């Protein structure tokens, strides 16, 4: 069971690396790499990393836009 901090907590807008990995369909090491590469924002609380939910959403949107752009340019090239 995943527990979330109370809404008034500074961590209310965060999720664990494990949950972020599930959402991205990647392993935790890949998520840590995204954190290290500053692709997503996270805070280290003790020994636990907390990923900023809005940053993860922005990352997913950027990846979706890149994929869409690649798909559009590929289909455009095959039409000519």
Does pLDDT of 78 surpass 90?
Answer: no
Give the confidence band of 22 by pLDDT, cuts at 50, 70, 90. very high
CA 22 to chain centre: 10
pLDDT of residue 65: 87
Question: Is 28 in contact with 36 (CB distance < 8 Å)?
Answer: no
pLDDT of residue 67: 81
The CA distance from 12 to 5, in Å, is 5
pLDDT in tens, 28-61: 999 999 999 999 999 998 999 999 999 999 999 9
């Amino acid at each position: 069971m995943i527990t979330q901090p109370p809404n008034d907590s500074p961590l209310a807008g965060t999720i664990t690396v494990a949950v972020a990995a599930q959402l991205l369909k990647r392993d935790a090491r890949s998520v840590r790499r995204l954190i290290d590469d500053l692709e997503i924002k996270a805070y280290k609380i003790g020994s636990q990393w907390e990923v900023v939910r809005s940053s993860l959403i922005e990352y997913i949107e950027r990846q979706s836009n890149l994929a869409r752009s690649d798909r559009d340019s590929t289909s455009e090239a095959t039409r000519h």
